[in-house]
Amino acid sequence: MPYKFQTDKIKLPREYDRRVKITEEMKKEMKAMHEDGAAVRAIARYFVGRCSRDSIRFILMPDKEVHAKALFKERQKDGRYYHKEKATRQKREHRRYKQEIIKNLKLEAGEGKSNP
């Protein structure tokens, strides 16, 4: 049976999107630390638990990200990274989360209105 709540067409506000791990402020801070001479490993230690060293490296050096994505695309051709059951479960859970957030945001918006 198809999922009736159409969440795929609605974008969540950035602060509610759990897929976003690194905020714009964090990116600016990483770039500033790197310009001041901090190594990628030192920046990764500062942001421990929030993102990986590769994520930091890709933010600081976008050309390395392009190269890594090209290699990944080549390795992906044999199907080694896709697990159908896991992907289905994650999509379902994300849709449910999105539905709850949208419902709560609509309730919050409705509470502010009063009829005199």
Residue 21: pLDDT over 70: yes
Closest CA to 25 of 54, 47, 58, 52: 47
Query: Which residues does 23 contact at the CB level (< 8 Å), separation at least 6?
Result: none
What per-residue confidence (pLDDT) applies to 111?
A: 58
pLDDT (0 to 100) of residue 81: 83
pLDDT class of 2 with cuts at 50, 70, 90: low
Helix (H) or strand (E) holding 5: none
pLDDT per position as a tens digit, 33-72: 999 999 999 999 999 988 899 999 999 999 999 999 999 9
pLDDT at 116 over 70: no
> pTM for the whole thing?
0.65
Q: What is the mean pLDDT of the chain?
A: 85
